[in-house]
Each structure stands twice: as C-alpha cells, then as structure tokens.
Amino acid sequence: MRIAIGVEYAGNAFEGWQTQPHGRTVQDALETALRKIAQAPVQLVCAGRTDTGVHATSQVAHFDTTARRPLEAWVRGVNSHLPASVGVQWAVEVDETFHARFSAESRRYRYVLLSRRVRPALLGGRVGWTHGALDVVAMDEAARCLIGEHDFTSFRAAECQARSPIRSMHAVEVARQGDVVVFDFHANAFLHHMIRNLVGSLVYVGLGRRPVGWMAEVLAARNRTIAAPTFAPDGLYLCGVEYPQRWPLPGGGRIIAPPQLLLP
C-alpha cells in the first residue's frame, strides 16, 4: 500500500532533504526510522527537495510498503526513532495514483527575515538577517511584478535541473511584524534557489540600492547575473503543499496553512 506523510524539520540540523552517502539528510533520517517500523527498506518521495539549511513546517512525502501497520505507527512509532529536529505529523493511506511531487498543484514557502542592528543568537539558523533598515512598502510593491506566469531564469540557480524556467506565481506578499519581515510565496512550483534569489533582490530594493521598477527589469532580462546574490537559507520554510481533494490528506488535501512562527 502507499502511505502519505506530513513532515516538519529544522533544516539547519541536516544537509538538505535528498539522500547522500554520508547519511546526514532528512530523507536518510526518515528512511532509517521507517525501515525500523516496516522491518524492510523504505524509499521516500517528497513534494519538494529542500536545500541544506532550509526548514519545513509542512513537507509531504509518500512511500510504498507491504507492512501492515496502524497509521499511528507511521507517526509516533517512526518519531521514536528520529532526532528531535525532524518529526512526522500525520500519516494517511492513499491510492497508487498519488504522487507527493507530481500530484501537487502548488507549494507555499515563507522566508522570515530579522531586520535589526545586531545578529540573532537564539534564532540563529532559523531566520535570515540584515542589519540595514528596510522599506517594506517598496519591497511589496516590487514583488507584484512576479505574480502570473513568467520565465524566472533571472532567479534560477545555474545548477537547476528543471526542464523549463516557466512558473506560475499565484501570490506574493511582503509584510513587517515588528523587527521581522515575512515574505510569503505561493506558486505551482519553484526553481532551484528561486525564492532565495527573489528575496535577495527584494532586499536590494528594500535597502534602497535599487528602485522598485528594477525587479521587473531583472525578471524580463532572463539573466541571472544582473540579479542580487542568493540570500541565506536560514529563514526559508516550506509551509504547505496543495493537492486535489480526492485524496484524504489533512485539510481536505488543500491548503496546509503555515503556522504562526513564534518570533520577537
């Protein structure tokens, strides 16, 4: 049978999602724990392979198994074999047509940026940081040009393996909460480093290094070299994956809303 699971993890405790020979990835930790419950090898497929340092509040993955276990065994049982930095939140049985990656209709990411004079200590590795004053209104205005279907080559990593740079951005919002600036992105899919590159360029606008209209110029240029450098992964969270309603995932298989992150 096929099991879908929802996972949260602190990305700064791992070297990315995808399995590696050294075994220090989220996938490696989960597959090791799942194998102990299934008493057989288990291979996971996820909705989005996050990079080193990138967190998740709502990652979705699936695996196939012949082991018959109560669904709670795939949650509490698996969690008993996992480090504190990663945990399974739910598990549901789905049919064989479900695919964590290819069945997903859209993804939601949030970037949390601390904007203050001194670097974070307690939140180190969990938020991005800039010491310069940011014009959030200008950043939000600059981000509006990203909504719609576009060629995002200017914000794509050189090593990106996606066949096409075309993506549909459903919504972008930049807002301030005290010393924290929150960037929310909702799209059908994202390119490698796309959000970190978008945040880096939006921060340039917020710092006054570039005008609001520059963002649209960079997007239209389809040239990675004219955009800002890639921003740090620390504040990036995969906050939800949306699927058609026919699968019994939590929330009706629709929006898994990002939780309110506890920040000063």
Residues 209, 187, 94: CA angle, nearest 5 degrees: 150
Q: How far apart are CA 231 and CA 208, in angstroms?
A: 17
pTM to 2 decimal places: 0.93
Tokens of 153: 């080559």
Tokens of 13: 């405790």
Q: How far apart are CA 231 and CA 158, in angstroms?
A: 15
What's the average model confidence in pLDDT over 145-150? Answer: 98
Active site residue 51: yes
Asked which of 44-48, 148-152, 172-176, 259-263 is least confident by mean pLDDT, the reply is 259-263
Helices (H), the chain: 26-38, 76-79, 136-143, 194-206, 214-221
Q: Is 183 exposed, middle or buried (0-12, 13-18, 19+ CB in 10 A)?
A: buried
Residue 34 bridge partners (DSSP): none
Residue 251 contacts residue 145 (beta carbons within 8 Å): no
Pairing of strands 128-130, 106-115: parallel
The set of residues, in sequence order, having a beta carbon less than 8 Å from that of 12 and lying 6+ positions away, is: 53, 55, 125, 126, 234
Q: How far apart are CA 11 and CA 233, in angstroms?
A: 9
The CATH architecture to which 2-103 belongs is 2-Layer Sandwich (3.30)
The CATH architecture to which 106-238 belongs is 2-Layer Sandwich (3.30)
Residue 156 contacts residue 194 (beta carbons within 8 Å): yes
What's the average model confidence in pLDDT over 17-27? Answer: 93
Q: How far apart are CA 147 and CA 168, in angstroms?
A: 7
Q: Catalytic one among 51, 151, 179, 184?
A: 51
Task: Inform me whether the pLDDT recorded for 262 exceeds 50.
Answer: no
Q: How far apart are CA 45 and CA 51, in angstroms?
A: 15
Please tell me if the domain spanning 2-103 has the same topology as the one spanning 106-238.
yes
Task: Inform me whether the pLDDT recorded for 252 exceeds 90.
Answer: no
Asked which of 78-82, 152-156, 237-241 is least confident by mean pLDDT, the reply is 237-241
Sequence spans of domains, the chain: 2-103, 106-238
